[in-house]
Structure 1
Amino acid sequence: MTVGGQIPDTETGVGLAKTPAARQAAAGSTAGPAPGPSGGSPSGPGWFGRLGLWSAAHLRLVVVLWVAVVAGLGAFAPQVTSALAGAGWHAEGSESVQVRDLAREHFGGNASTALQVVVHADRPVSDPAVQDVIGRATALLTADARITGVVPPQPGATVSPDGRTAILLAGAGAGADDMVRAADDLKGPLGALSGGGIEVTATGSSVMWSDFNTANHDAMIKSEMLSWPVTMAILVLAFGSLVAAGLPLLLTLAGLAASAGALVLLDQVTPVSIWAMNFAMMFALALGIDYALFLVVRFRAALARHGDAVRAVRETMDTAGKAVALSGATVLVSLSAVMLVPAPAFRTMALGIMLAVVFVLAATLTLLPAILAKLGSKVDAGALPWSKSRGKEAGSTVDAGASGSPRFAAWADRLWRHPVRYGLPALLVLLALAAPLAGLRTAMPSITVVPEDASARVGYTTVQEAFGPGTPGMLQIVVPTEQAAQTAADAASDPALGDTLDRLRAGLPEDALVGGAAAENLDLQTALDAKTPLVIGVVLGLGFLLLVFALRAPLAALLGTVTSLLSTAAAFGVAKLVFQDGHGASLLGFTPQGFLDGWAPVFFFAMIFAIAMDYTVFLLASAKEHYERTGDPRRAVTGALADSGRVVFAAAAVMVAVFFTFALSGPLPPKEMGIVLGTAVLLDAALIRLVLLPVLLRLTGNAAWWCPAWLRRILPDVRFAHD
């Protein structure tokens, strides 16, 4: 409320003169001209406000279009688990992939993707009963069109020294993804041949990925089922009404159905990893909740002030809608950097998440405002008894146009008065958690990532015990015929060559190519290590530029980017303590490998940074809105926390609940994902967005929002304030 050009400072009781000219001067001449229609001003709504008004005026059309999109693409969704690919965990263009292709083309499919069927008996494999089982296994394999042929057990090669274990080699007659599907289809019938002292198991790289995908998919479904009740409880508590709590689920289901169908169609063009759907489901839920929270909270406050649902939608979209769009763009930019990794599985997983984000974002900016305009005050239908008092709190705003919580406003005031008291401990905790990162080791996972009773692991163990250590991970060497004898001699005569793949490749003739499943893992790890700095640099750089573009405040953008990096480092530090050093391993029920899985630094970094920047955008966009209105850095911080603090807190609670349920899953990769992502969200929300970033904005004051004249001239005038 203003009286005679004075804005009362509720914390100090001192009236601050804030005329428009004074506000512009206080902003260090960064405010620029009065906002026009594109920014959302008194003269008319901005672009997002107009989108909200159009959606509200065309509710039927918007609903029909979304029903058509969801029904059209959703019709393909049931095929997602069977249509999507199971492989793709290799480095494109690597030497090992060349060996795999050559072996498939010239050596009867005896490539790394070939199936190995292990027959272990309590009697010699020459026994008629064992031979009968081998014959039936051979018939099963040859009946499958994806198998080029079956090499029977060969004494001295694929028959163990004690004569009780034999290996059938089923040649790969199809690509890596189809061979994983072949493993899906054949490992059960082959296992059913066991009995009478004879055990039949399928193993090999394709079977391992089949078991890996099955175990992790089952674990993720179980975790998601466990997280739903917790998610629903948090949503009801956060929104205070059953109708409002159902809105995020509407966005999630629309985005998930559309993205699932889109992935199936995309798979017709290029193989898409089954993991793309798993991650898309998580992000659709997480971001659907985030975005709906931000818009619904703002809509409620605007509705309480104006009493007009359409006007409330216009204001909501010009402020919170703009921030949501910026958040979605930041998430997409972060994930797009993963496309730099030359591994099909990683690229399609990132693409799956990006599709989910696009559909959820589109639903948030079109379907949600249309429904809110229609609902009006009915958005609070099914309200809980205590929610009415909180609704009154929401009307007690910190600043004109705010949807603030007095509790978070009081917390912001405390941070402003004592920045070092609260900011320094938060910084020290984050740095202490990030310190173990210096000793982090990464490697591709071993066979232990699949359950002990999985076919691939049982067969692997049987081969290892019968033929000796290292046999299951044998390398393949492809060489011109005239160099074969010399290559064999070199590989056999110098044991040091077998210590590492690099030494072996360096010591063999120039034309020799070394491959095999183990070599493919090592080549993928090498590619990941090489691309990690580039991916991290691109994510940080693009995230910073996007914030500068939207905020026109380089220092505030830098603070948001650096603090997001700090929470990511702390999360990986915790991951090192848990998964590499084994702290808490018995509690979580796993055996530490002594390293973090090789894909974590690249893929998890992009995911964590995307989520962290999501919260950053909400906080900084709200702070910029208040700074544009008042020119006061203190009101910017207190108003931002009052507006977005509860939203960040509630959204983070949902994400932490969802991610930490994955820590309860059986296989190791979901545990890693759950702990790393859950810890990152917890630290980011509790210590950075609600403590450290506001403190840094307090310490930098007006400088946080300063923009040099030359940069103002080239940047668009994006404004978040709505008068």
Structure 2
Amino acid sequence: MSTTAPTPRTAPPTPPAGTHRSGRLGRLGRYAATNTRTVFIAWAIVAVALGIFAPRVETALSGAGWQANGSESVQVRDLVKSEFAGLNSTGLMVVVHSKAQTASSPAFQRTVAQIAAKLKADGRVASVSLPQAGQTISRDGHTAIVMAGAKADANTMVRAADDLKAPLTALGTKDVQVALTGASGMWSDFNAANRSAMMRSEAFSWPVTLGILVLAFGSLVAAGLPLLLTILGLMASAGSLFLLTKVSPISIWAMNFALMFALALGIDYALFIVMRFRGALFGRHENRVDAVEETMDTAGKAVLFSGVTVLISLTAVMLVDSPAFRSMALGIMLSVVFILAATLTLLPAVLGKLGTKVDNVSLPWAHHGEHRSARFAAWGEYLWRRPWALGIATVAVLGALAVPVLTLSTGMPSIKVVPKHDTSRQGYELVQQAFGIGAPGALQVTAPAADAARVRTALLADPAIAQVTPPQPGASGKFVLLQAVPKVDPSSKALGQAIDRLRASLPAGAMVGGAPAENHDLETELHDKTPLVIGVVLGLGFLLLLIALQAPLIAAIGVLTNLLATGAAFGVAKLIFQEGHGASLLGFESQGFLDAWGPVFFFAMIFAISMDYTVFLLSSAKEHWDRTGDPKEAMVGGLAHSGRVIFAAGAVMVAVFLTFALSGPLPPKEMGIILGVAVLLDALLVRLMLVPILLRLTGTKAWYLPRWLDRILPDVKFGH
């Protein structure tokens, strides 16, 4: 391995069939292509063994978990559950409202009694607290609240809300309205709305995806291969997630994200592998086994590095100490593992079996003889001639789009993420109208019994607190519970500031909890961990690219250019979701901020997908550099051999992600817009323009490897 630019040399002659000196992946590909029966049986066993559990996964996944483990608010939740009849943030809140009747009316009281009976009959309810004058009955008497204490954990209480909201709503009459609300009710409605939105989006995206794949591959048979990988990956992932729920709660969002990544990576990897296979099979007239071996020895190696990079990016999300985040990252990682395994074993077996039939049912204009694109080669030549003008223009566009991110504001989801017709939102708004704007987000403050008076005085002294209930003694007599009703909306920044003030000023031993405090603590955890997650993702991504490409400068270019597309995507998100531009067109109500999980979670997802394109482009460029030592051939040849794959994969991903922006509640819209814009900008402006331009401007320096580093790194080649 040389530390300076090698002199250009011609490619070595192709060895006779069957005598290739392949690496491990090439040999694995040859084995799969010559032992298709064994590979098919093995995958059939995996599909059946895990697939039988797949239909049960949705009912087993959890609906909660949005908390910061070990936080003060979680400690309060656990203490209230054990000491105060389960009346914590996960308990159920049932709102009873009538315009014509009051809480003293017989019909109103009958409805309340029926609600209490329904709640008491549920084994997940620890206690039922009937409406009390001055506390849970409004001044005009037209609205009352029935509280149900939680006997189970947060996830089980969301399931209780799933089961009870329809029967409870049915207890209402034409004069009396009943609505289940509270944190568990909100998560129940929120998850149901997201689930239905994801299903609608998926139903729309599959035919769109197939259509784009047919155009990209030029063959219906070849276009079906990514969908084969996706289906198998999903079956195995879903079954594995179900089994994992027996060990630990897994967020229902894990399955949603697993589906998206299975589709995304199945398409990316199949495109890269099949394009290379067709070039070897039809372009160089190799037999199908040799074509598979060459493909896996080159493109397969790039896919492996890409998959490992994706796993590393998602592993960094585990640094956020929240069950929902960790289980979502785990769900995506499972889908990546299965898609990667299928790509490296099942796909070469299928290609070995199909051979020339891979182009069956092809379009009349499909060209399959060479995976080098003449159009992208011409585009590379154009970029080589005019790097400065196009490079400056690209950076200017990305920079202008990224500027708004400097004033990006984040927050935990407000009630606006729940559809207006859902009972949790209706109940929430009824409580605000009857008891005040902050009433749905009352803080729960626990304290030693001896400090009850001092704690109540301190709470009443805070400018953000409107009302404090008398101290309620706990079961052991050691603690008291006070409910502090804010003057401000539960999702406002002012309440978060009040929580921090109270924690600093209350007597030692007093703790502040409740649903708003849990949101505040998770937001703080996300804010604190975001720089660490981003740093870890960038650092490990650079290290992996360094190993793969054997060149520090080009590895740094590959990683740092990801930040431009990411920053631009979040800049667009700030204009849309924080400032509300296009809200009526997209059909959502702006919260005035971006959901707090966006920066950390979407960054990891964007980086993971972008690294696919980075590895495909730069591994191809590295292959040409190793063969010729010519920086122009590395740039132009790399773009010619990977540009079509990147363009097609990017088109599919943009189409898939933008379907999520057209349906459902706000969070899927945020995800669809941010990921769709990021992939669009990354594929078109970064991978197909900026990175090739930087390869042109850095020339031989891009591939320079210091001697001391050469001695440390493993020798990785992408040529066959």
What range describes the TM-score normalised by the shorter chain of this pair? over 0.9
**1:76-124 Cα distance to aligned partner (Å, 9 max, x none):** 1111110000000010010000000000011000000000011112211
Q: Which residue of 2 aligns with 1:45?
A: 22
Displacement after TM superposition at 1:496 (Å): 5.3
Please give the alpha-carbon distance, in whole angstroms, between the structure 2 residues aligned to 1:118 and 1:562: 52
Q: Which residue of 2 aligns with 1:521?
A: 519
Aligned match for 1:232, one of 186, 210, 213: 210
Query: In percent, how many aligned pairs have the same letter?
Result: 63
Aligned match for 2:292, one of 282, 293, 313: 313
Please give the alpha-carbon distance, in whole angstroms, between the structure 2 residues aligned to 1:57 and 1:308: 12
Q: Which residue of 1 aligns with 2:552?
A: 554
Q: Which residue of 1 aligns with 2:248?
A: 270
Q: Which residue of 2 aligns with 1:178?
A: 156
**1:409-464 Cα distance to aligned partner (Å, 9 max, x none):** 00001111111122111111001111111111111111110001111100001111
Matched, 1:620 2:618: yes
Query: Matched residue pairs, number?
Result: 684
Q: Which residue of 2 aligns with 1:377?
A: 356
Contact 2:7 2:629 in 1 (8 A): no
Please give the alpha-carbon distance, in whole angstroms, between the structure 2 residues aligned to 1:598 and 1:42: 55
Letter in 2 for 1:347: R
Letter in 1 for 2:332: I
**1:663-685 Cα distance to aligned partner (Å, 9 max, x none):** 10131101100000000000000
Displacement after TM superposition at 1:29 (Å): 9.2
Matched, 1:282 2:260: yes
Please give the alpha-carbon distance, in whole angstroms, between the structure 1 residues aligned to 2:658 and 2:75: 40
Please give the alpha-carbon distance, in whole angstroms, between the structure 2 residues aligned to 1:162 and 1:641: 72
Q: Which residue of 2 aligns with 1:147?
A: 125
Letter in 1 for 2:146: L
Unaligned runs of 5+ in 2: 466-485, 487-493
Displacement after TM superposition at 1:623 (Å): 0.4
Contact 2:292 2:352 in 1 (8 A): yes
SS of equivalent to 2:275: helix
Please give the alpha-carbon distance, in whole angstroms, between the structure 2 residues aligned to 1:571 and 1:70: 37
Contact 1:615 1:689 in 2 (8 A): yes
Q: Which residue of 1 aligns with 2:719?
A: 721
Displacement after TM superposition at 1:43 (Å): 5.7
Aligned match for 2:88, one of 111, 129, 143: 111
In 2 relative to 1, CA 146–706 (structure 1 residues): closer, same or farther, beyond 3 Å?
Answer: same
Displacement after TM superposition at 1:226 (Å): 1.3
Matched, 1:67 2:44: yes
Aligned match for 1:207, one of 174, 185, 191: 185
Aligned match for 1:57, one of 34, 37, 58: 34
Please give the alpha-carbon distance, in whole angstroms, between the structure 1 residues aligned to 2:425 and 2:500: 27
Q: Which residue of 2 aligns with 1:475?
A: 443
Q: Which residue of 1 aligns with 2:569?
A: 571
Displacement after TM superposition at 1:495 (Å): 2.3
Please give the alpha-carbon distance, in whole angstroms, between the structure 1 residues aligned to 2:576 and 2:112: 44
Please give the alpha-carbon distance, in whole angstroms, between the structure 1 residues aligned to 2:203 and 2:57: 19
Aligned match for 1:218, one of 175, 190, 196: 196
In 2 relative to 1, CA 118–25 (structure 1 residues): closer, same or farther, beyond 3 Å?
Answer: closer
Matched, 1:134 2:112: yes
In 2 relative to 1, CA 493–237 (structure 1 residues): closer, same or farther, beyond 3 Å?
Answer: same
Q: Which residue of 1 aligns with 2:665?
A: 667
Unaligned runs of 5+ in 1: 1-22, 395-402
Q: Which residue of 2 aligns with 1:8?
A: none
Contact 1:28 1:706 in 2 (8 A): no
Matched, 1:414 2:382: yes
Please give the alpha-carbon distance, in whole angstroms, between the structure 1 residues aligned to 2:69 and 2:559: 32
Contact 1:24 1:631 in 2 (8 A): no
Aligned match for 1:639, one of 637, 640, 648: 637
Contact 1:26 1:632 in 2 (8 A): no
Stretch of structure 1 that moved more, 62-71 or 124-133: 124-133
Please give the alpha-carbon distance, in whole angstroms, between the structure 2 residues aligned to 1:654 and 1:488: 58
| RMSD over aligned Cα atoms | 1.8
**1:277-299 Cα distance to aligned partner (Å, 9 max, x none):** 00000010111000000000000
TM-score by length of 2: 0.93
Contact 2:3 2:707 in 1 (8 A): no
Displacement after TM superposition at 1:591 (Å): 2.0
In 2 relative to 1, CA 630–29 (structure 1 residues): closer, same or farther, beyond 3 Å?
Answer: closer
Contact 2:624 2:634 in 1 (8 A): yes
Matched, 1:250 2:217: no
SS of equivalent to 1:593: coil
Please give the alpha-carbon distance, in whole angstroms, between the structure 2 residues aligned to 1:496 and 1:444: 19
SS of equivalent to 1:163: coil
Please give the alpha-carbon distance, in whole angstroms, between the structure 2 residues aligned to 1:478 and 1:652: 52
Runs of 4+ in 1 over 3 A off after TM superposition: 23-26, 28-31, 40-43, 496-499
Please give the alpha-carbon distance, in whole angstroms, between the structure 1 residues aligned to 2:261 and 2:558: 21
Letter in 2 for 1:85: S
Matched, 1:432 2:400: yes
Displacement after TM superposition at 1:166 (Å): 1.1
Displacement after TM superposition at 1:26 (Å): 6.4
Aligned match for 1:592, one of 583, 586, 590: 590
Stretch of structure 1 that moved more, 191-200 or 40-49: 40-49
Please give the alpha-carbon distance, in whole angstroms, between the structure 2 residues aligned to 1:323 and 1:119: 60
Contact 1:30 1:705 in 2 (8 A): no
Please give the alpha-carbon distance, in whole angstroms, between the structure 2 residues aligned to 1:359 and 1:156: 58
Stretch of structure 1 that moved more, 53-62 or 255-264: 53-62
